[in-house]
């Protein structure tokens, strides 16, 4: 984050986002929910999935590609498995509904799988798996999306960044939350670097429009991201494409199964699968929490490599950053603040500053 950033109170940012969404016919309660999840990402330092996304959501709502008052319907319910249609509404609403179901049904059956078609962008997946873990479940999420990334060794875009997340309950320690794109970075990190005016991005993030590796932010293409770990990241991305797309009845690869009029790299419709496991069917929830804490202590107190001050657990940096930013405010680059304030002013919503 650039040193030129200005800090914004989380509460103020929530009000702006909710006001913008309400002005676009999103019901007040739903707008508040989406604002809460976007600001939650900013608080944790996952800036690529925070308020930066509001412009994209506004464009899609205005174009009719996201439906402000969509109804989530049940395609099939077999107890431990539920298949939902999100109706192309705001993804956060379907995400929370699916995780609530995953927690409820895994409590009844020991394990649950919730598949959702016709969803849109979920934001940071860790927001959902963390809620599942805090309810005592080992939780997983897999979501696919538009065709923006070629297969490993190819140049034809067939996949999204295909993120996945898992979260594990803990006792005294911060909840373990692992949330990654199966590409080296999420495409929104490249977009945010462009918005901040960064001259360069790290090596291995993206290629240029001709598929050549680049560290030049201007030349980097969000349509040519690189897989993390080469074929290993691609293998996990393929799993996400199957669980998020093929299994859910959503689009996958170049095959379209959506009510949306937007296809290919501009595809708005996404699919996702949530899985939840209730530890009470095995060692028990409290025993799992104890064992997980014990494992974390083993990891944290293990011998560190030269020059390493601390071994971090997944989700721990976000946990600590959330505490700090709740206290001190969220740092936002001036171009992003100007962008948000312009949208708010146009729609008659409260400004960020």
pLDDT in tens, 147-204: 989 899 888 889 999 999 999 999 999 999 999 999 998 888 898 899 889 999 999 8
Q: How confident is the model at residue 2 (pLDDT cuts 50, 70, 90)?
A: very low
**Sequence-ordered alpha helix ranges (H) in the chain:** 10-23, 28-43, 54-63, 91-109, 126-134, 187-196, 231-241, 285-300, 316-328, 334-347
Distance of alpha carbon 115 from alpha carbon 350, whole angstroms = 36
DSSP state of 265: G
Domain assignments of the chain as residue spans, ordered by start = 1-63+331-353, 68-174+229-301, 184-226
Distance of alpha carbon 119 from alpha carbon 122, whole angstroms = 8
If you average pLDDT over residues 224-251, what whole number do you get?
95
If you average pLDDT over residues 210-217, what whole number do you get?
88
Lowest mean pLDDT among 8-12, 27-31, 221-225: 221-225
* Percent of the chain whose pLDDT exceeds 70: 99
Q: How confident is the model at residue 1 (pLDDT cuts 50, 70, 90)?
A: very low
Q: What is the mean pLDDT of the chain?
A: 95
If you average pLDDT over residues 31-52, what whole number do you get?
97
Characterize 131-158 residue by residue with b for buried, 16 or more Cβ atoms within 10 angstroms of its Cβ, and e for exposed.
bbbebbbbbbbbbbbbbbbbbbeeeebb
Q: Which residues pair with 126 in a beta bridge?
A: none
Q: Is the pLDDT of residue 7 over 80?
A: yes
**Closest C-alpha to 58, from 26, 85, 86:** 26
Lowest mean pLDDT among 7-21, 75-89, 179-193: 179-193
**pLDDT tens-digit series, residues 97-132:** 999 999 999 999 999 999 999 999 999 999 999 999
The CATH architecture assigned to 184-226 reads: 2-Layer Sandwich (3.30)
What's the pLDDT at 192?
85
Distance of alpha carbon 123 from alpha carbon 289, whole angstroms = 27
What's the pLDDT at 208?
86
Contact present, 35 and 352 (Cβ < 8 Å): no
Task: Indicate the pairing of strand 81-85 with strand 111-119.
Answer: parallel
What's the pLDDT at 84?
98
What's the pLDDT at 191?
86
Q: Which CATH number fits domain 68-174+229-301: 3.40.50.1820, 3.10.110.10, 3.40.50.1240, 3.30.1370.60?
A: 3.30.1370.60
Lowest mean pLDDT among 30-34, 147-151, 316-320: 147-151
What's the pLDDT at 196?
87
The CATH architecture assigned to 1-63+331-353 reads: Orthogonal Bundle (1.10)
Q: How confident is the model at residue 13 (pLDDT cuts 50, 70, 90)?
A: very high
Q: Is the pLDDT of residue 4 over 80?
A: no
Q: Is the pLDDT of residue 224 over 90?
A: no
What's the pLDDT at 265?
85
**Closest C-alpha to 198, from 206, 189, 209:** 189
**Closest C-alpha to 272, from 131, 110, 163, 195:** 163
Distance of alpha carbon 321 from alpha carbon 179, whole angstroms = 16
Q: Is the pLDDT of residue 3 over 90?
A: no
**pLDDT tens-digit series, residues 266-310:** 899 999 999 999 999 999 999 999 999 999 999 999 999 999 999
């Amino acid at each position: 984050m650039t040193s030129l950033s200005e800090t914004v109170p989380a509460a103020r940012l929530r009000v702006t986002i909710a006001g913008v969404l309400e002005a676009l016919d999103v019901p007040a309660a739903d707008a508040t929910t989406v604002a809460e999840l976007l600001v939650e990402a900013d608080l944790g330092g996952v800036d690529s999935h925070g308020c930066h996304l509001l412009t994209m959501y506004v464009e899609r709502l205005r174009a009719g590609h996201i439906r402000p008052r969509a109804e989530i319907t049940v395609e099939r319910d077999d107890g431990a498995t539920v298949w939902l249609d999100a109706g192309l509404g705001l993804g956060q609403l379907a995400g929370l509904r699916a995780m609530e179901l995953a927690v409820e049904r895994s409590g009844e059956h020991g394990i649950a799988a919730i598949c959702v078609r016709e969803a849109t962008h979920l934001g940071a997946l860790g927001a959902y798996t963390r809620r599942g873990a805090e309810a005592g479940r080992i939780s997983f999420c897999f979501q696919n999306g538009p065709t923006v990334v070629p297969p490993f060794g190819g140049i034809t875009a067939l996949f999204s960044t295909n993120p996945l997340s898992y979260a594990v309950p803990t006792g005294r320690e911060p909840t373990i939350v692992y949330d990654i794109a199966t590409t080296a970075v999420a495409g929104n990190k490249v977009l945010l670097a462009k918005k901040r005016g960064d001259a360069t991005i790290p090596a291995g993030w993206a290629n240029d429009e001709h598929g050549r590796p680049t560290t030049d932010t201007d030349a980097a293409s969000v349509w040519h991201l690189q897989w993390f770990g080469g074929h290993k990241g691609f293998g996990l991305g393929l799993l996400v494409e199957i669980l998020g797309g093929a299994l859910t009845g959503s689009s996958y690869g170049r095959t379209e199964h959506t009510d949306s009029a937007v296809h290919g790299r501009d595809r708005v419709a996404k699919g996702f699968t949530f899985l939840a496991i209730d530890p009470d069917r095995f060692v028990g929830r409290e025993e799992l929490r104890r064992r997980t804490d014990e494992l974390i202590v083993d990891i944290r107190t293990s011998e560190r490599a030269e020059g390493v001050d601390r071994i971090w657990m997944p989700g721990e940096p976000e946990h600590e950053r959330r505490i700090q930013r709740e206290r001190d405010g969220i740092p936002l680059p001036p171009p992003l603040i100007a962008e948000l304030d312009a949208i708010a002013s146009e729609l008659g919503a409260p400004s960020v500053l």
